[in-house]
């Protein structure tokens, strides 16, 4: 499958999830929340909101989305809608707390009506994580287990990985390379690489460089 076809597929997945969620499919709604929750939290952190304030923003954004699911003009562009809505909700919370100027928070002096460059970066990061999660589900179970162990924080020693999976320590490196080769061939990852949103070396943080693949 080409990168262009993979992009169409990714957009189609989001559209399908929105359509199903609008029809009352709880599983589709849960998939949307899991896919884009990192985007909301990253924007809240940029506005220095945490704890109850960030939870307030998140709740408001998801309630707004739930109310407007059936009327979104472009369901495939949901991530952009969420980014803009989250920024506005962050401003609402900040204004209610204290009379800060826009420049004090973002250095712009303008309350955002459109995505800022930082929001664009966060949007790309969220899409990259969503694509990675989707691509991982397409790997064989053995590869999923290996990669999950490799990306643990703090890193798990190879000896423990060997004992957990029942494979020799010397086989972990070659197995990792084979699994990462399969991962970066997945259409969801190929799209990000072709568009510059990520690279083969950063497709799976914590797995090690794929440069030798």
How does pLDDT run across 7-51, given as a tens digit for each residue?
A: 445 567 888 889 999 888 888 898 888 888 888 888 888 888 888
Residue 166 φ then ψ, to 5°: 70, 40
- pTM comes to 0.54
* Contact indicator for 203, 132 with CB cutoff of 8 Å: yes
Q: What is the DSSP code (8-state) at residue 157?
A: P
What is the separation, in whole angstroms, between the first and last Cα of the chain?
A: 20
Residue 130 φ then ψ, to 5°: -65, -40
Question: What is the percent of the chain with per-residue pLDDT over 70, rounded to a whole number?
Answer: 69
73 alpha-carbon distance from chain centroid: 22
Determine which helix (DSSP H) or strand (DSSP E) holds 211, and give its type and residue range.
Answer: none
The architecture (CATH level 2) of 1-129 comes to: Orthogonal Bundle (1.10)
4 token code pair: 């262009």
Q: What is the pLDDT of residue 99?
A: 59
Ordered by start, the domain boundaries in the chain are 1-129
61 token code pair: 């954004």
* Contact indicator for 108, 155 with CB cutoff of 8 Å: no
**pLDDT of 66 higher than 60:** yes
Q: What is the pLDDT of residue 14?
A: 86
Nearest to 213 by CA among 197, 204, 200, 203: 200
99 token code pair: 């009379």
**HSE-up of residue 205 (Cα within 13 Å, Cβ side):** 7
User: Cα(188)–Cα(191) distance, rounded to whole angstroms?
Assistant: 5
What number of other Cβ atoms are within 10 A of residue 145's Cβ? Answer: 15
Q: What is the DSSP code (8-state) at residue 142?
A: H
What number of other Cβ atoms are within 10 A of residue 203's Cβ? Answer: 22
Q: What is the pLDDT of residue 154?
A: 77
Confidence of residue 98 (pLDDT cuts 50, 70, 90): low
């Amino acid at each position: 499958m080409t990168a262009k076809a993979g992009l169409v597929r990714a957009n189609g997945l989001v559209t399908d999830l929105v359509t199903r969620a609008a029809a009352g499919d709880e599983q589709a709604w849960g998939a949307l929340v899991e896919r884009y929750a990192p985007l909301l939290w990253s924007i809240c952190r940029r506005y220095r909101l945490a704890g109850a304030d960030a939870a307030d923003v998140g709740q408001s954004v998801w309630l707004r989305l739930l109310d407007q699911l059936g009327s979104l003009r472009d369901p495939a562009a949901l991530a952009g809608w969420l980014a803009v809505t989250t920024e506005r909700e962050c401003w609402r919370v900040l204004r209610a707390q204290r009379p800060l100027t826009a420049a004090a928070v973002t250095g712009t002096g303008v309350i955002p009506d459109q995505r800022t460059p930082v929001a664009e970066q966060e949007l790309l990061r969220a899409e990259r994580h969503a694509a990675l999660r989707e691509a991982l589900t397409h790997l064989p179970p053995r590869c999923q287990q290996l990669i999950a162990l490799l990306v643990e924080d703090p890193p798990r020693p190879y000896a423990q990985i060997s004992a957990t999976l029942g494979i020799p320590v010397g086989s972990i490196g070659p197995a990792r390379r084979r699994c990462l080769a399969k991962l970066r061939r997945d259409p969801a990852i190929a799209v990000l690489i072709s568009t510059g949103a990520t690279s083969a070396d950063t497709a799976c943080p914590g797995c090690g460089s794929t440069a030798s693949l």
